[in-house]
Structure 1
């Protein structure tokens, strides 16, 4: 749960980011925190501090480097404020003695607070599109597309049935050279009986030269064709 220190740092980061995002990386005098950037009077309700002393204690803790939110230079000033913040009854206004000490913010911590701010304020959703009237051209076009799609679904089974009938009515193929039946369940490049292609010229089984039906020998290589 956030306390006074968290709220002070968050407010400081927000003010600097609104002023100029690059300022988060630039050291500045510590006095700017309580005099100009996050003064008590104008930020009391935002910081939810009950008294001015509570506000000063939050500033003291910030300048002392608590939680790593910021770093103060010179180091001896930061160490003095750190010791004072740890006291049982600290002098909460001790930091006012070092107005020129330079304060550097933790960029990672600052960006974490900024991202959380954006998460709490998401962009509004786009307005819904108005419904199309039945007379509009867009509605008519959509209706035509629906009708075409429905007609396509109705025609699809008929085409499939015709294709199945064509396959069932197809008779077994025969080799044009030897007359043997060719296998019908696979692609046939050559007859399993005579070795010739089911379509095309008759070829010599040895050299592949063109031969004619009834030739016992190839005219190209002189080897026996095996055809009677």
Structure 2
């Protein structure tokens, strides 16, 4: 299975149309699953113009092959809109947790070097009564991720009322796991650990998964940036 994550800044009207796209009626060839979401800034107040700017949208998708993705971006009216933005093509590496929409993924697809850059996507379906607790414990973690020197791109995304997501690009898998484990002298380094402990006490989610990927290709630009994903370190002596 091939994966892609897309970011696009467009008009408010186009963004609304993309978010309301009925994929079941116009299913592109080779598409297994699509999650269109509003893109948001991490660590900002929940209700603010800093957090949510109309026109910024994200799409996480699973495909039969990258050939199907190419055809969609080039030949489909909706795909051509997304092609104007930025996207990465991803190779699945590891899964924690489970979301039914992406059922069937192995816990681990193969080994990878801890020094290798990685992309992480979290996807959750919230329990609506738990939303206030989720916000209380989640926003400090967002700030921790946003301020971590190991990440090069970090944002939130969501599709009300239940779907929430994060998308992060890390200089290395080690940098990501160091953040998760609180291995830092920076203030607030244990926020992620504390939030996970609170989640185990009473879960915020109906479903939750963290997916780790290797970036195979990067296309386009996001907020004037290109070449966002770090290149993989060359082997010693190369």
Could you tell me the TM-score, scaled by structure 1's length? 0.22
TM-score of the aligned structures, taking structure 2 as reference length: 0.21
Relative contact order (C-alpha < 8 Å, sep 6+): which is higher? 2
The structure with the greater share of residues assigned to helix is: 1
